[in-house]
Amino acid sequence: MQDEKNRNTLGKKGTFVVHVQYLENSTWQGEIVWAEKNESLKFRSALELLKIMDSALATTEQGEEKGEKL
């Protein structure tokens, strides 16, 4: 059931372009671009990259719940 729900939302939440520029201290550093909003941010670790993506998707979901268009 959950797999079917995931397939239906594939590609609908957000598209990110990740450019890894360096690998230092056993983690990635680089830049992420949120394609739908054409916003970019630099990240200093893989954890920070995931937090940026999670925050962006949470913002998108909150806007959809309120009926706002992005």
What is the value of pTM for the model shown?
0.70
Q: Would you call 5 exposed, middle or buried from its count of C-beta atoms within 10 A (0-12, 13-18, 19+)?
A: exposed
Please determine, for residue 70, whether its predicted confidence score (pLDDT) is greater than 50. no
From residue 41, how far is each of 6, 15, 16, 67 by CA, in Å?
27, 14, 11, 27
For the stretch 11-58, pLDDT in tens is 567 899 999 999 998 999 999 999 989 999 999 999 999 999 999 988
Distance in angstroms (rounded) separating the CA atoms of residues 20 and 42: 10
